[in-house]
A and B are shown apart, each in its own frame.
Chain A
Amino acid sequence: MKGFQNALGALADPKELTGALDLKNLPTDWLVDKYRDMMTIRRAEEAVAGLVRSGEAKAPCHLGIGQEAVAVGVSAHLNAGDKVYSGHRGHSHYLALHAPLDGMMAEVLGKATGASGGMGGSMHLFAPEVGFHGSVPIVGATIPIAVGAGLACKMDGKGQVAVAYFGDGACEEGVVHESLNLARVLDLPVLFVCENNLYSSHLDIHLRQPSNSVARFAEAHRVDHRVIDGNDVVAVSEAAADLIANARAGKGPGFIEAVTFRWLGHVGPNEDIDVGVRRSPGELTAWKRRDPVRRLTDALSASRGVGQDRFAGIDAEIVRAVDEAVAFARASAYPEDRVLLDYVYAGGAA
C-alpha cells in the first residue's frame, strides 16, 4: 500500500507513554478499585490460559491480557440497566462489569453452570443481570445489535445506553459503517468502543488499512469520537464519562478509539511472536512497558503513597477468587444431552 498514514503517532509507538499515569483528581479508593478490576481480568485470563494449556479447555480462547484498561475505564460509567455487547475477545468486557467469575470459568469448560449454560464456551458469554447482553465471535456481528439495543434504550426513555466493543479488524466489515450511520441518523444512545490493538489475527494494521487510526470512520459519519491511550485507565474513563453522559442526555452516539496491544497471540495461551507478519519479540517487549496495570500502581505509589502491600493483598484475594472459580468450574456438571434440542425453540424441542 502506498502512503500509509501514521495518524496515531505516539499512541502507536510503544516507546512513548510508558510512565506513571496522571491520576488527575480522582479519588484514591476509586483508583485502587480500578487496579482490582484490571488484575481480576489479568488473573482470570492467566487461569484460562492454564486451562487451554492443560487441555481442559478445547474451545478457542482469545485472551485480553494487556488490554484490561479499556473495559475497566468504560465500565466505570455503566450500570446494570445498560446493554453491553462484545465479540470473540470478550472476557474483559464481561469481567469489568463484575459478572460472575465462576460463570465465566464454567462456560470456558462448557459446564451447565456457565454463563451461557455451557452452550457457548469462551466466545459466548451472557450476564444480563450486570448489563452484559452477549458476546459472539462473528466479527462485527454485535455492532448493529448494539445499535438496536440503543434503539430500544431510546424508546424506553430511561437514559440507558448500549455499548459495542470491537477491534480494528472489525472496522473492515461494511456493517460497521452502516451501524455508525444508522446510530447517527437516529441519534441513538450507543457507545462504540474500538480496541485498536493494531492487529487482526496475523496481520498488522498497516497491511489492512491506509491509516492506523480507525476514528476516521466515526468522523465520516459525524459521530463524536475520542482517540486515546487505551492503556491509561484514567484517559479511558474520562472519554467514556463524556460520551456516555452525552448519550444518556439524548445527544446520540459516541466512539472511542482506545489504542492498546495484546500480549498473547490471536488465540490461545502463547505469545505467537512467530505468527504475526510483523509481530516481533522486540515489539512485544516494548509494549509490555506500557503495561496498563503497572502504570497505575506506579502512579498510586508515587503520588498517593499506596504501599505495595495493599496491591499484594488485593492480588492475593483475586488469585484466591480465580482459583475458586476454576475449582467450581471443574466440579460442575456438563449440560444434559436433552438441552441440545430443548434450547432450539421456545418451549423445547420442535
Chain B
Amino acid sequence: MSAVSYADAIRHGFEYAMERDPKCFAIGQGLWSPWYVGNSMRDLDRRFGKERVIDTPVSELATTGAAVGAALNGYHPIVVHPRMDFMILAADQIVNQAAKWRHMLGGKVSPTIAIRGIVNRGGEQGAQHSQALHSWYAHVPGLRVLMPATAADARDMLIAAAQSPDPVMYIDDRWCYELAEELAPAADIDVAAIRPMVRREGGDVTIAAASYSVTLALKAADLLAGDGIEAEVVDIRQVNPLDPTLVLESAARTGRFVAVDGGWSTCGLAAELLALVAEGVAPSRLKAPLARVTLPAAPAPTSKPLEAAYYPTAETVRQRVLKLFG
C-alpha cells in the first residue's frame, strides 16, 4: 500500500459515497475544472458523469437551496463551495433552512445534505479569500460540523457526511492537502460516532485543536518534547455537536489546557473549548490558567510580512505552552 494524500483521500470519499449510493451526487462551482478544487475532485465528472457531478453558475444561494430541496426529496447531495468566503452567500439555506427543517417541522423531515466548505488561505489572497468560519456554523444547532485533520479522516468524514441523516458541514483546509498516510479500505461511517480522539499522548499539558491546527499542535508537541514537556494532542474532529468527554478527561489529567484554532478568538472554537474545561474540570485540578492560540482580531492581510505575522505557527503554540510552565 502507498500513502494517500488528504486531497486524494477526499476524492476517495466522494468515490465511495457515490458508488455506494446512487442517490448521492455532487454539485458546486468548479467541479469540471482541473484546477478549481485541487486534486480533491479530479475526474469525478468523468467517472460518474456530468449529471451526477454538476458544475454550476455563480449562484451559491440557489445551488445550496436546490441541494436542500433535492435532499428533502430523497437525494443525498454534497454541495461544494470552493471557498468558505463565497459560501456566506448561501447562509440562509444553510442556517435558516437546512439546519432547522427537522426541528421546526416536527421531526418528520430532514435535509440529508452535506456541505463542503473549503478553507483556502495564505498566498496573499486577502480578507475575502482566507476565512475559516467553522465557528459560525458550529454555533447553529441542527448542523453537524466536521473538520478532518488527517487523510484518513478526510475520506471517512466525507463518507459520514454523505451518509448522515442530518445536514453536515464538512470543512477541509488546503493547508492539509499534502498530509499523507496509508488508508484502510473505505467503509460506511456513522456520523454520530465521530468523536474527539487523542493524536499524541502526553501527561504535562493538553493541546486541543481541529483541522490544520492539529498539525500545528503536533509540531509544537515535537518542539515541546525538546523542552522536556510532554504534550497531549486532542483532535476535536466533530466540532458540533461537540462531545466534551475526552477533552475534560485529558485536561483534568494534565492540569494544563491550551486550545489552538485557525479562526478568530471571540466566540470561536477555542473559546468554546476553554469554556467546556472551565465548566467541567474542578479548579483544584488546574495547574495553570487556560490558554488559547487563535488569529489576531483582524481580517487577513495580503502583504507578505503582515501575512507572516498573521498566521500562528508551531512556534507560536510552543511559546504559549511554555508560558504555562513559567
- B73 interface hit (Cβ, 8 Å): no
- B289 interface hit (Cβ, 8 Å): no
- A110 interface hit (Cβ, 8 Å): yes
Task: Give the most central of A201, A208, A340, A344: most B CB within 10 Å.
Answer: A340
Cα(A339)–Cα(B310), bound, Å: 12
Q: Can you list 6 contacts pairing A with B, beta carbon distance less than 8 Å?
A: A59-B124, A110-B124, A110-B302, A118-B303, A139-B58, A335-B305
Cα(A323)–Cα(B263), bound, Å: 40
B residues near A173, Cβ cutoff 8 Å: 58-61, 89
Q: Other CB < 8 Å A-B pairs besides A58-B124, A169-B57, A341-B297, 16 of them?
A: A58-B304, A60-B123, A110-B302, A121-B126, A124-B126, A137-B126, A173-B58, A173-B59, A174-B59, A200-B57, A200-B58, A202-B30, A203-B57, A207-B55, A337-B305, A339-B306
Inter-chain contact B85/A138, CB cutoff 8 Å: yes
B residues near A337, Cβ cutoff 8 Å: 305-306, 309
Inter-chain contact A137/B129, CB cutoff 8 Å: yes
Q: Which residue of A lies closest to B60 (CB)?
A: A173
Stretch of B33-41, B146-154, B157-165, B170-178 with 4 or more beta carbons under 8 angstroms from chain A: B33-41
Specify which of B86, B299, B304 is in contact with A344 (CB 8 Å cutoff): B299
Cα(A339)–Cα(B34), bound, Å: 38
- B301 interface hit (Cβ, 8 Å): yes
- A186 interface hit (Cβ, 8 Å): no
Report, as a range, how many residues of chain A touch the other chain: 35 or more
Tell me, rounded to whole Å, the shortest Cβ–Cβ distance linking B61 to chain A: 6
Scoring A residues 83 to 122 as 1 if CB is less than 8 Å from chain B, else 0, what string do you get? 0000000000000000000000000001100000011110
A residues near B310, Cβ cutoff 8 Å: 340
Contact A121 to B302, CB < 8 A, known contacts A137-B129, A173-B58, A174-B62:
yes
A residues near B35, Cβ cutoff 8 Å: 202, 275
Contact A120 to B302, CB < 8 A, known contacts A275-B34, A277-B32, A350-B297:
yes
Tell me, rounded to whole Å, the shortest Cβ–Cβ distance linking A170 to chain B: 7
Cα(A118)–Cα(B304), bound, Å: 10
A residues near B125, Cβ cutoff 8 Å: 59-60, 121
- B74 interface hit (Cβ, 8 Å): no
Scoring B residues 185 to 203 as 1 if CB is less than 8 Å from chain A, else 0, what string do you get? 0000000000000000000
Inter-chain contact A340/B126, CB cutoff 8 Å: no
Inter-chain contact B302/A340, CB cutoff 8 Å: no
Interface secondary structure of A, over-half rule = loop
Contact A209 to B34, CB < 8 A, known contacts A340-B309, A341-B297:
no
Cα(A18)–Cα(B280), bound, Å: 74
Q: Which residue of A lies closest to B34 (CB)?
A: A275
- A123 interface hit (Cβ, 8 Å): yes
Specify which of A170, A344, A350 is in contact with B58 (CB 8 Å cutoff): A170
Inter-chain contact A172/B302, CB cutoff 8 Å: no
Specify which of B32, B34, B57, B304 is in contact with A334 (CB 8 Å cutoff): B304
**Residues in A lying within 8 Å of B, measured CB to CB:** 58-60, 110-111, 118-121, 123-124, 136-140, 169-170, 172-174, 200-203, 207-209, 274-275, 277, 334-335, 337, 339-341, 343-344, 350
A residues near B302, Cβ cutoff 8 Å: 59, 110, 118-121, 124
- B296 interface hit (Cβ, 8 Å): yes
- B127 interface hit (Cβ, 8 Å): yes
- B128 interface hit (Cβ, 8 Å): yes
Contact A341 to B55, CB < 8 A, known contacts A59-B124, A137-B129:
no
Beta-carbon contacts under 8 Å, B19-48 to A: 29-30, 32-36
Tell me, rounded to whole Å, the shortest Cβ–Cβ distance linking B173 to chain A: 18
Specify which of B32, B33, B86, B298 is in contact with A138 (CB 8 Å cutoff): B86
Tell me, rounded to whole Å, the shortest Cβ–Cβ distance linking B49 to chain A: 15
Cα(A118)–Cα(B127), bound, Å: 12
**Which 10 pairs from chain A and chain B are nearest by CB?**
A110-B303, A172-B57, A121-B302, A59-B124, A58-B124, A202-B33, A208-B57, A172-B58, A169-B58, A172-B59
Inter-chain contact A344/B297, CB cutoff 8 Å: yes
Inter-chain contact B123/A58, CB cutoff 8 Å: yes
Inter-chain contact A202/B89, CB cutoff 8 Å: no
Task: Give the most central of B55, B59, B60: most A CB within 10 Å.
Answer: B59
Contact A174 to B61, CB < 8 A, known contacts A334-B306, A340-B310, A341-B296:
yes
A residues near B127, Cβ cutoff 8 Å: 120, 124
A residues near B60, Cβ cutoff 8 Å: 173
A residues near B303, Cβ cutoff 8 Å: 110-111, 118-119, 121, 334-335
Tell me, rounded to whole Å, the shortest Cβ–Cβ distance linking B34 to chain A: 7
Tell me, rounded to whole Å, the shortest Cβ–Cβ distance linking A214 to chain B: 12
